Structure 1
């Protein structure tokens, strides 16, 4: 018999699992929902401070009570719940058949749960509320979110009004010691098979995760292990409330080892982002200075220029660096062949917290390009890709006269729910109304991931509302990064149209 032990996330308790647990039980599984101290039940010794070790002990007690010959224990941790799950599994590794990461992060040894909270303001609030006792145990509580604040902790996509009401009414304060005490692991838990259940309205799906593994994100390399599988749910951060039966089905399949496998980087294949550009573009002279490459057209100039801005986050260790990726070099050679300087650069978007310095890197590169005597400083376009999209907000807000066009391919055009950047200035949807008549060319992938497509739809709606000068080029069968994938129908034509649209703004 499969034994599921379900551990809820911050502010919540066993009640959130009601419908999912009922479905699993109906399918013949044994189900235990863990009441974490301070969330589902009061502390055993009155007013003692509650920390992560307290919650690890809560999970251990359920494991020990449920363990019996022939039973396969599947530990499921949602959100914060993955921290006590891993702490307990590390001490009972031989008793656990599988760990399920339900829309959670990848906690590491020595790192507290608070580090995984994306919203900086929430992290600061938690730190300010914490109090230390004489023995160093952190006390205090973080109040649960107000009804309209749950989105700061994850996407509420798929939740009914009644579900949000219930989530709010039954929420409990989170003991701060559970967020501030570092997780301690011996490494034993690394031998336990694992499954990630990805809620695609709140974070990346399998395809995007594969891209991140391919790029070389060190923390994700282990996800391509044959013992690690994945499922996608097209919903927000609380699938046990938005689609409990679908979640139960995924957990049942996970328990039997089902799910999607990622492909290791060294599996004898070329990662998608390093495959050849879909157009056969002749080589062009290239000059490299610092973090910037110039692909030069024929003639002395001055020529218009297009600066191509890569996406991310891209780990600092990635090789080759983005300015040498075939998509960027392909576009740069393409425009150089048509009389325009193509510019590629490396910027320091290594994490979603790096947009400030990445934007500064782009601005510095643009200044250097405009100062080059071979460049017409009054005719420059900026072309952004993927995770570089939020940087467009810097240029949509009061654009300079020399900026003739902004283009974006399969971009992220608003901070994603899990990023904690909702209030930041890197929000192109909010900036668009200040763009005036600046031409914007949007290359939209028809098979985009749900989380990114939602930001594009929001951007297009805002363009219609404020009368922005937006041209949309659709690649209906195109996926994220379509230029180096198997060419989709119409992809080559779309690239030609996009290049033509941008160059028309520069040369017109």
Structure 2
């Protein structure tokens, strides 16, 4: 018989698993919903010294008192930290670990690093817990989405979440997780909640980037499931979640393969054969220069992200971005590619500064007509377009975006940030916007495009949509079809037309 130990996210307790636990028991499994020290109906046990180690000890004590030979640990959000800590102490008792809409913390990582509310992260980074200030109150009801999407949660369940939520001891978030590696070989399951911004396609894209942190996800002992709901599946789809947990405990799940022939998808060749033009590197900026006299207009291409800092080659050497730069240069326009530093979810401000500096460098170049510049964003870099849409400069003739993310994903913690193009477009006026949309977009990104287009329609923004019905995210490197080539040529013609 399998025993599933269920550990929920911040502010909650074992009560959140009520329906899931009932469904598991009906299927013949043991279910042990956990209320950690200081949480739920144990909130009176919290003190200034309640920390992550306290919660790890809670779980190791429970494991030691279970008779079931196979124990599967389920960690939801914050809960994955004490789950991994306890599994590291008792690896011989653990049959598997389930990351339920949770991150992949490593040795030395505090749970704070994965808190989706950016304001909370910044506050604790500055001060940390003190003897006087050691509790983090749960969010007001209207701010629960800052801690993860509440999509699918019925009104009565959301009211229960709000009513029963307990303050979180800050030490549980600030204390680093310590792992010896003893549990690193255990079977692992990832349950991804798509309405919160996670998906198997996104995992495969991260693996495809070649980041060594995600290499372990291609291990055959790692399986994945998706749930079409928000961050609280135990409240929104308890029966479906129980079924997925049982399948995960049985070793089922989608397996992620390593890149074929070792070449990541984004390093595939550009879909057009373009004439070669001179390329010049200045700091983080590459200029693709046309064979032309006098100052020429420029298109600044802004890559997506986050991109890990040690990825090689860096984006300005990716075939797609080089291809675009060379293509516009062959048509008499300066193509600019900038290696901005969007390496993590907290880097959008720094990346925006990098792009702004690149624009000023380019506009000051005597070979560039500084009054005729377009900005072209790709994928996750689309969030960086918000500043320019919110306050268009007179020299900005066009903003383009290809398969962009146009609102932060719910689990990115950027709800109240300035990086929301779907909001900023309301101030874009008549600035031309050329949006290349792929028909086979990842669901979590497609919804942000829909939000953007709806806002653009409401404010009568000047948006042209170039559709690639059978195109995938990053189609220029993977979909070498006539449809895809026509879309690139049409988008480039449109952008250059606005630079005349």
Q: TM-score, normalised by structure 2?
A: 0.95
Q: Distance between the aligned counterparts of 1:462 and 1:125, measured in 2?
A: 32
Aligned match of 1:162 = 156
C-alpha change, 1:399 and 1:43, in structure 2 (3 Å) is: closer
Structure 2 residue corresponding to 1:150, chosen from 123, 127, 144: 144
Deviates most, 397-406 or 382-391: 397-406
How many positions carry a matched residue from both structures? 499
Local SS of the residue matching 1:352? coil
Aligned residue runs from structure 1 range 31-50, under 5 A: 31-42=31-42, 49-50=49-50
Q: Deviation at 1:126?
A: 5.2
Give the 3-state SS of the residue equivalent to 2:470 in structure 1: coil
CA distance in 1, matches of 2:266, 2:395: 31
* 1:182 equivalent in alignment to 2:180: no
Instruction: Find the aligned partners of 1:233 and 1:490 in 2 and give their Cα distance.
Output: 32
Rounded Cα–Cα distance in structure 1 between residues aligned with 2:109 and 2:329 = 48
Residue aligning to 2:8: 8
The answer for the alignment partner of 1:446 in structure 2 is: 439
Q: CA deviation at 1:392?
A: 0.6
The aligned residue for residue 100 of structure 1 is: 98
Task: Judge conservation of contact 1:216–1:317 (CA < 8 Å) in 2.
Answer: no
Structure 2 counterpart of 1:136: none
Within 5 Å, which residues of 2 pair with 1:98-497? 98-125=96-123, 130-132=129-131, 140-264=134-258, 268-487=261-480, 490-497=483-490
Alpha carbons 1:43, 1:50 under 8 Å: kept? no
Q: Which runs of 5+ in 1 are unaligned?
A: 134-138
Name which of structure 1's ranges 490-499 and 116-125 shifts more when overlaid on structure 2.
Answer: 116-125
Structure 2 CA distance for aligned equivalents of residues 249 and 181 of structure 1:
33
Distance in 2 between the 1:34 and 1:444 partners?
Answer: 44
Change (3 A) 1:47 1:379: closer
Cα-Cα RMSD: 2.0
Aligned-partner SS, 2:472: coil
Query: Unaligned 5+ residue runs, structure 2?
Result: none
How far apart, CA to CA, are the structure 2 residues paired with 1:46 and 1:382? 52
Cα distance in 1, alignment partners of residues 47 and 378 from structure 2: 52
Q: Secondary structure of the residue that 2:369 maps to in structure 1?
A: strand
SS at match of 2:383: helix
Taking the aligned partners of 1:485 and 1:169, their CA distance within structure 2 comes to 49
CA contact (8 A) 1:141 1:174 kept: yes
- CA deviation after TM superposition for structure 1 residue 488, in Å: 6.1
Deviation for aligned residue 1:47: 5.9
CA distance in 2, matches of 1:232, 1:193: 18
Question: Does the alignment pair 1:30 with 2:30?
Answer: yes
Name whichever of 193-202 and 208-217 sits farther off: 208-217
User: Shift of the alpha carbon at 1:91?
Assistant: 0.8
TM-superposed CA distance for 1:192, in Å, is: 1.3
Question: Secondary structure of 1:37's partner?
Answer: coil
Structure 1, 96-105 or 193-202: larger mean CA deviation:
193-202
Deviations 1:211-235 (A, max 9, x none): 2222233432322222212112121
- Whether the aligned pair in 2 keeps the contact of 1:112 and 1:182 (CA below 8 Å) is yes
Give the match's secondary structure for 1:132. coil
Partner of 1:186: helix, strand, or coil?
coil
Q: Distance in 1 between matches of 2:45 and 2:373?
A: 68
Post-superposition offset of 1:274? 0.3
Q: Shift of residue 384 of structure 1?
A: 0.3
- The offset of 1:49, in angstroms, is 3.9
